[in-house]
């Protein structure tokens, strides 16, 4: 059979299944948000430890980061899903997601993101003058308090450009969760065109989900651009 891409009947098939793809988009968004949140919560402390820490703790954090950054994300997701004692949590009925797979994917994507975010935060922290830490300590703050109240707010603002790139990477990497059967956007798209007699709809389905990924990425990056402009640290003139 000759393959004819972009047929009207196949576009109609995609339109008929818009709700199915919408649910997949919802899962992709939830997985991206949960993974980036975990990455933020673990990434900043890791970056701070690499800057201010020493000894075994700094070495352990640095080694863990190298391992996570050097391991393919699909391998991490499979290892976390089959290797961690994650209890069977049932499914989330509204989006038809197996919670065990969602947790495993969040841990894999989140910790890998933390390994990259730690380097973004490390660079942001190192860009802040050492005098600010010394001034905070001279006022009686502990190192932890100084990091929390003086360094952290500035580092977060300076890390927004790097965070944009990390958001795009994590968003696209959520598609790798198909390896453990998580029903995110790409997995649902594949299920659509693998239905009997729907092999001609491959192009239409892929073009549709590509457009969805683009809209998500573009909208978020523009929002982060505005956030960066609004919270940019004023530069002195002299």
Encoded tokens for 2: 């000759």
Split at pLDDT 50, 70, 90, the class of 216 is very high
Whether the per-residue pLDDT at 4 is higher than 70: the answer is no
pLDDT of the residue at 11? 87
Angle between helices 18-52 and 202-230 (to 10 degrees): 40
> H or E stretch including 69?
helix 55-70
Which band of pLDDT confidence, cut at 50, 70 and 90, is reported for residue 5?
Answer: low
The per-residue pLDDT for 238 is 39
| Residue ranges covered by each domain of the chain | 8-230
| CATH class name, domain 8-230 | mainly alpha
Averaged confidence pLDDT in the chain: 87
- Give residue 115's pLDDT: 95
Question: pLDDT tens digits for 57-107?
Answer: 999 999 999 999 999 999 999 999 999 888 887 887 777 788 899 999 999
pLDDT tens digit sequence for 10-46: 888 889 999 999 999 999 999 999 999 999 999 999 9
pLDDT higher at 130 or 171: 171
DSSP code for 236: P
What is the predicted pLDDT for the residue at 147? 84
Q: What distances in angstroms separate CA 48 from CA 37, 41, 42, 105, 124, one per listed residue?
A: 17, 12, 10, 26, 10
The answer for residues whose C-beta is within 8 angstroms of residue 143's C-beta and 6 or more apart is 52, 133, 137
For residues 184 and 35, is the Cβ–Cβ distance under 8 A?
Answer: no
Taking 50 as the threshold, does the pLDDT of residue 237 lie above it? no
DSSP annotation string for 179-217: GGT---HHHHHHHHHTSTT-GGGHHHHHHHHHHHHHHHH
pLDDT confidence of 6, banded at 50, 70, 90? low
DSSP SS3 for 92: strand
Task: Give the pLDDT score at 139.
Answer: 83
For the chain, how big is the Rg over CA atoms in Å? 22
Residues pairing with 97 in the sheet: 92
pLDDT value at residue 112: 96
pLDDT computed for residue 156 by the predictor = 84
Question: In the prediction, which pLDDT does 137 show?
Answer: 83
Helix axes 202-230, 160-173, angle to 10 degrees: 160
Kindly tell me if the per-residue pLDDT of 119 is higher than 60.
Answer: yes
The span from the CA of 133 to the CA of 104, in Å, is 38
> Per residue in 146-204, pLDDT tens?
888 888 888 888 888 888 889 999 999 999 998 998 989 999 999 888 888 887 888 88
Question: What separation in angstroms does the CA of 179 have from each of 53, 69, 105, 176, 213?
Answer: 37, 19, 10, 6, 19
Query: pLDDT value at position 7?
Result: 66
Task: Report yes or no on whether pTM surpasses 0.85.
Answer: yes
CA dist 90 → 77, 109, 170, 175 (Å): 19, 21, 25, 21
User: Residue 234 burial by CB count (10 A; 0-12/13-18/19+): exposed, middle or buried?
Assistant: exposed
The answer to whether the beta carbons of residues 220 and 30 sit under 8 Å apart is no
Kindly state the average pLDDT of the residues 200-221: 91
Return the pLDDT at 66: 95
Q: What is the pLDDT of residue 24?
A: 93
């Amino acid at each position: 059979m000759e393959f004819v891409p972009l047929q009207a009947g196949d576009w109609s098939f995609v339109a008929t299944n818009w709700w199915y793809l919408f649910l997949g988009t919802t899962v992709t968004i939830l997985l991206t948000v949960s993974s980036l949140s975990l990455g933020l919560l673990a990434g900043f402390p890791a970056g701070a430890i690499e800057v201010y820490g020493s000894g075994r703790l700094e070495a352990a954090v640095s080694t863990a980061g190298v391992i996570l950054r050097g391991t393919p994300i699909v391998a991490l997701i499979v290892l976390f899903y089959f290797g961690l004692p994650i209890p069977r949590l049932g499914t989330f009925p509204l989006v038809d997601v197996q919670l065990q797979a969602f947790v495993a994917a969040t841990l894999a994507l989140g910790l890998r993101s933390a390994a990259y975010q730690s380097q973004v935060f490390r660079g942001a922290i190192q860009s802040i003058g050492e005098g600010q830490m010394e001034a905070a300590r001279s006022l009686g703050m502990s190192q932890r308090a100084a990091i929390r109240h003086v360094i952290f707010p500035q580092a977060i603002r300076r890390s927004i450009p790097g965070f944009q790139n990390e958001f795009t990477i994590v968003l696209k990497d959520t598609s790798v969760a198909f390896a453990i059967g998580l029903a995110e956007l790409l997995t649902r798209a594949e299920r659509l065109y693998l239905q009997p007699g729907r092999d001609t709809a491959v192009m239409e389905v892929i073009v549709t989900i590509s457009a969805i990924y683009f809209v998500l990425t573009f909208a978020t990056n523009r929002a982060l651009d505005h956030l960066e402009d609004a919270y940019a640290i004023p530069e002195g003139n002299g």
